[in-house]
Amino acid sequence: MEQIADTAAVVQQNITDNVEATTLWSVWSIVAISVTLFAVLALVLYIFRDKKKRRVKDKIMNETADVGFNTLNEWKKAERLYNELKRICHPDLFHDERNEIANEIFQRLTENKYRYQELLKIRDEAIEKLGIKVTDNKY
Amino acid sequence: MNIWNTIVDWFRDRSERSRVISSFNESARQAYMSGDAPVMLKAKISRGDPNYAHEFSARWSGSGFRVMVFTGGQLSRAELEFMGNVILADEKLVRRLIVLGWDTLEIHGSEGVYGLKWRLTDFTTKINLINGF
């Protein structure tokens, strides 16, 4: 009778151990599956975002394919031209009907201070409308 | 396949960045030789300012576009500032620099380590990832 009781206890113990092991395995498998899902989700989001970035990048690269560094030839000329124009086109120098035109030209001059091609257009307009003379012909 | 594309794109970007630097240096050389520019400039990639980082910043391969006065004389601070602003006034150029991973424009004189720097994204309208502009 005592042997039967011992056998039953051993069987009971084995069953308990197995249940604990199964529970532990379940917990770890859930953790592993969660981590895997998270990694897959992160990868999908990264790839999706990277695709969008790539699309925007390609679009801008195509649209700006013709840019160069012409400004390097122009920055000193722009500085000289701007400094001269701001001096000779100043509205305070014009006390007649040209004052309004000088105001408008001076405003555009300030807005396009760093754009040499625009400064050239403003210079031509100022010569025509204000009757100024630009001293340095090399501009 | 996507990983392969990413690798190809990475090399393509690196190549394009090198091409931009070479193009800048060649233009600067021509401008100096023709007398249009009073000094010769040289561009190189620097670390950049991490505070200026944006969506496209090349964090690991240098995000600063550094222009240095290489030879020909000294430039005043006002001249350096004007030159920087002339480069930044070209919005298409700024956009190209941004998508190629640069976030900082640095202009240095020929002496000392001090110079001027600008955040590139301040000089263009915001680029968004939906339609590009």
pLDDT tens for each residue of B2-59: 677 777 877 888 888 999 999 889 988 888 888 888 888 889 999 999 999 988 888 7
pLDDT at B55: 84
Strand order across the B64-71 sheet: B40-46, B64-71, B104-108, B115-119
Q: What is the DSSP letter of B130?
A: T
Domain limits, chain A? 1-67, 71-130
Give residue ranges of B with CB < 8 Å to any A CB.
Answer: 2, 6, 9, 16, 23-24, 27-28, 30-31, 34, 36-38, 41, 55-56, 79, 82-83, 85-90, 92-93, 95-96, 98-99, 127-132
Nearest to B56 among A57, A75, A78 (CB): A57
Residues of B in contact with A71 (CB under 8 A): 86-87, 89-90, 93
**Cβ-Cβ contacts under 8 Å for B44 (sequence gap 6 or more):** B21, B66, B68
In angstroms, how far is CA A122 from the centroid of its own chain? 32
Give the confidence band of A1 by pLDDT, cuts at 50, 70, 90: low
pLDDT digits (tens, 9 = 90+) for A102-115: 999 999 999 998 88
**Rounded Cα–Cα distance for residues B52 and B121 (Å):** 8
Q: Is the dihedral of CA B20, B15, B130, B106 positive or negative?
A: negative
In angstroms, how far is CA B22 from the centroid of its own chain? 12
**Rounded Cα–Cα distance for residues B108 and B117 (Å):** 9
Tokens of A126: 């100022």
The per-residue pLDDT of chain B, averaged, comes to: 84
B93/A71 CB distance under 8 A: yes
3-state secondary structure of A76: helix
pLDDT (average), residues B54-77: 83
pLDDT digits (tens, 9 = 90+) for B116-133: 999 998 888 766 554 554
Model-level ipTM above the cut of 0.90: no
pLDDT at B133: 46
pLDDT (average), residues A61-82: 82
pLDDT (average), residues A75-99: 88
**Is residue A5 over pLDDT 70?**
yes
3-state secondary structure of B42: strand
B85/A114 CB distance under 8 A: yes
B36/A116 CB distance under 8 A: no
Tell me how long chain B is. 133
**Rounded Cα–Cα distance for residues B31 and A69 (Å):** 10
